[in-house]
Amino acid sequence: MNRSMTVLAAALGLVLAAGTAAVPAAAATTAQGYTPAAGIAAKSSEDANNKAFYEAVMKSARAKQAANPYLLAVTVTYDASQAPTFRTVISQSAQIWNSSVANVQLRSGTNADFRYYEGNDSRGSYASTDGHGGGYIFLDYAQNRQYSSLRVVAHETGHVLGLPDHYSGPCSELMSGGGPGTSCTNPNPNTTERSRVNSLWLYGLAVAG
Ligand SMILES: [Zn+2]
């Protein structure tokens, strides 16, 4: 089931069966994708949605931080149960980010700050939010076969951590996404991207403290 069908079904008041790319129908706003594909909202809108997603995730993570002020890094919890095809890749992506940045760490678990979903969408993979504390990453099957799946997942996860798209960048830059083409398989954020995430989450900690 694609997103338009999900929205249509929701509009008709149909009860959706769980399991088949059960992307939340309420999250109708689209944030950032992996490629500058047709159908994805304008860049400024993408940036705004991405910022809202990042802020929502940080708000949730900071609430947990407040309950345990002795933590040195903010922990963002994710749920990959709705993207079973990508379980291993999602775990590898988390390891990459956890070894790349110090001020925020990703953990798999319940009471998740965000979720991964999988399915078919002509717009490819993207990160989205409803702007009210919820968000998810959608992983498109076709795009994850066409491009390096680990790079796609690490890129979308980068949006959760606050990074915007920069499609014109080189392959060494994770947030250039599909810009450098299908031959680019680099799944690692570069030094600038690591520093930016560390700064963003250090600021979050400062506010929380
Ligand atoms: Zn992107």
Give pLDDT, residue 6: 41
Q: Of 104, 117, 49, 50, which is closest to residue 77 (Cα–Cα)?
A: 104
Secondary structure element (H or E) that encloses residue 152, with its range: helix 149-160
**202 Cα–ligand 1 center, Å:** 22
Protein residues placing their CB within 5 Å of the ion ligand 1 = 32, 165, 177
Catalytic residues: 156
Compute CA distances 104 → 52, 74, 133, 195, 201, whole Å: 18, 5, 18, 12, 6
**109 Cα–ligand 1 center, Å:** 24
- Inter-residue long-range contacts of 144-149, CB under 8 Å, 24+ positions, other chains counted: 144/86, 144/89, 146/182, 147/34, 147/178, 147/182, 147/184, 148/182, 148/184, 148/185, 148/186, 148/187, 149/86, 149/89
State how far the Cα of 108 lies from the Cα of 76, in Å rounded to an integer: 9
**34 Cα–ligand 1 center, Å:** 4
pLDDT tens digits for the chain (209 residues)? 444 444 433 443 333 343 445 666 544 455 678 987 643 445 566 667 677 777 777 787 777 767 766 666 788 899 999 999 999 999 999 999 999 999 989 999 988 989 999 999 998 999 974 333 347 999 999 999 999 999 999 999 998 888 889 999 999 999 999 999 999 999 999 999 999 989 888 755 544 43
Q: Of 68, 89, 69, which is closest to residue 78 (Cα–Cα)?
A: 89
Phi, psi at residue 138, to the nearest 5°? Answer: -100, 130
**78 Cα–ligand 1 center, Å:** 18
**Reduced to 3 states, what is the DSSP secondary structure of residue 163?**
coil
Give pLDDT, residue 187: 98
State how far the Cα of 60 lies from the Cα of 75, in Å rounded to an integer: 10
Secondary structure element (H or E) that encloses residue 95, with its range: helix 87-100
Q: Which amino acid is at 29?
A: T
Give pLDDT, residue 168: 96
Phi, psi at residue 178, to the nearest 5°? Answer: -85, 0
**151 Cα–ligand 1 center, Å:** 11
- Can you give the C-alpha Rg of the chain in angstroms? 16
Secondary structure element (H or E) that encloses residue 32, with its range: strand 30-33
For residues 161 and 58, the answer to whether their CB atoms sit within 8 Å is: no
**203 Cα–ligand 1 center, Å:** 23
Give pLDDT, residue 143: 97
**100 Cα–ligand 1 center, Å:** 18
The structure tokens listed for 62 are 């900071």
Give pLDDT, residue 188: 98
